[in-house]
Amino acid sequence: MGSILRPIYLDHAATTPLDPEVLEAMMPHLRNDFGNPSSVHRFGQRARAAIDEARAQVAALIGARDSEIVFTGSGTEADNLAIVGTLEASAASEAARTDLVTSAIEHHAILNTAKALDRSRHQVTVAKVDELGQVDLHDLEGAITAATALVSVMFANNETGVVQPISDVVRLARSKGSLIHTDAVQALGKVRLDVSSLDVDLLTLSAHKIYGPKGVGALYIRSGTRMRALVRGGSQERNRRAGTENVAGIVGLGKAAELARVRMGDDARRIETLRNRLEGEVMEGSPGLVARNGSAASRIGSTTSLSFEGVSGEDLLIALDLAGIAVSTGAACAAGSPEPSHVLKAMGLPRARVNGSLRFSLGRNTTAEEIDRAVESVREAVLRLRSEPSSAR
Ligand SMILES: Cc1ncc(COP(=O)(O)O)c(C=O)c1O
């Protein structure tokens, strides 16, 4: 039945489709313009000019200077660079600050990088979050000391969409003289981000969450921030990220950033209305049996995390996939693995609620008809699974 209808993609927090305009901008660099941007001749110059333009487009989206944007191979790499690059540079400087403070709901790109740090050189403190999915500011304040080199707290969470109190985080970090990094991968293109008014030192972004290609990201590094390269080699990206640039990918990120800047206002309003319709109707369909996870007052407009009582999120995901609706149980990398969400666990939600959770994330191309069909399918699947006692956990 579902197979005749076009599948409905409600997993934009995992990745987004490539915008046709982005593909068009990338094509010349996959075909004829193959030059190495480091080459002096005209082939190289064309590639260099394309990268320069992309850098300006990305900088414009976040209010940075062009020279403050470093292209990387992913959002994950940008997160790694932010943490390891600043901690190593800081530990080697006269200030000799060595420590990292982060939060329990960060993406694994942050948490596993923090875990891999040499504990004899760097102390890592992970601040708690409250039941609404926001970092606990008291805990964070207590964690930041005179030895804290970097505080890293994400802008918006990838599972719940909850926006963190970044201005408070910045105030606390600044009061102790620490650098501040925010992973804005899930917020970019959905919320206006201006690095000057945010007053952050480092900000991570990724192309494939804003209708750009996979395998390219960027790190905003405030001018003057001490940083050691993670990938060492040639002098590309002003010695901050070696390796011949992914020209087509970078051009794609630049175009996606430009489109996001132009379309953000309209897209965000329309998507939020649809998200609220989906959430409202799913909750209405099963009064008292569906709970929203995370703050409704402070979150991006495209995502909702819902927990279904008496149903396993994994079973529901599979049932919906069979009906042609693509959703997720949480982070893309956690999907398919039986690990329960570290984000919902950190919020202190009971196990059954964590296991019964599902993330819906809408995008630029989501339509009202798709939302209505998705609501119908969710209601049907939940009713069916509830009647099968083996599904409940
Ligand atoms: C919050 C957050 N940070 C970082 C990343 C990693 O970005 P990338 O997929 O480009 O490595 C993701 C991707 O899911 C994310 O959601």
Is the pLDDT at 356 greater than 70? The verdict is yes
Whole-number pLDDT of residue 214: 98
Q: What percent of the chain has pLDDT over 70?
A: 95
Q: CA-to-CA distance for 61 and 167, rounded, in angstroms?
A: 19
Report the C-alpha gap between 291 and 325 in whole angstroms.
Answer: 20
Ligand 1 centroid to residue 85 C-alpha, Å = 18
Confidence check: pLDDT of 392 > 60:
no
How distant, in Å, are the alpha carbons of 81, 196, 199, 309 from that of 85? 5, 21, 19, 44
Write the pLDDT tens digit of every residue in 219-228. Answer: 999 999 999 9
- Return the pLDDT at 337: 58
Which whole number is the average pLDDT over 309-319?
A: 94
Q: Return the number of other C-beta atoms located less than 10 Å from residue 21's C-beta.
A: 14
Residue 211 has pLDDT above 80, yes or no: yes
Task: Give this prediction's pTM.
Answer: 0.96
Looking from the CA of residue 77, the nearest atom of ligand 1 is: 11
Q: Supply the residue whose CA is at minimum distance from atom 9 of ligand 1.
A: 75
pLDDT band at 332 (very low <50, low <70, confident <90, very high): very low
Sheet holding 148-152, edge to edge: 69-72, 217-221, 202-206, 179-183, 148-152, 99-103, 124-127
Per-residue model confidence as pLDDT tens digits over 79-103: 999 999 999 999 888 878 999 999 9
- Mutate which of 71, 158, 303, 329 to test ligand 1's pocket (most atoms within 8 Å of Cβ)? 158
How would residue 125 be classed by pLDDT, with cut points 50, 70 and 90? very high
In our burial notation (b when 16+ CB lie closer than 10 A, e otherwise), range 56-65 reads bbbbebbebe
The answer to whether 194 and 63 are in contact (CB under 8 A) is: yes
pLDDT of residue 2: 46
Q: How far is the CA of 270 from the centre of ligand 1 (A)?
A: 24
Distance CA 201, CA 220 (A): 8
Q: Which of 147, 283, 333, 352 is catalytic?
A: 333
**Active-site residue 333, yes or no?**
yes
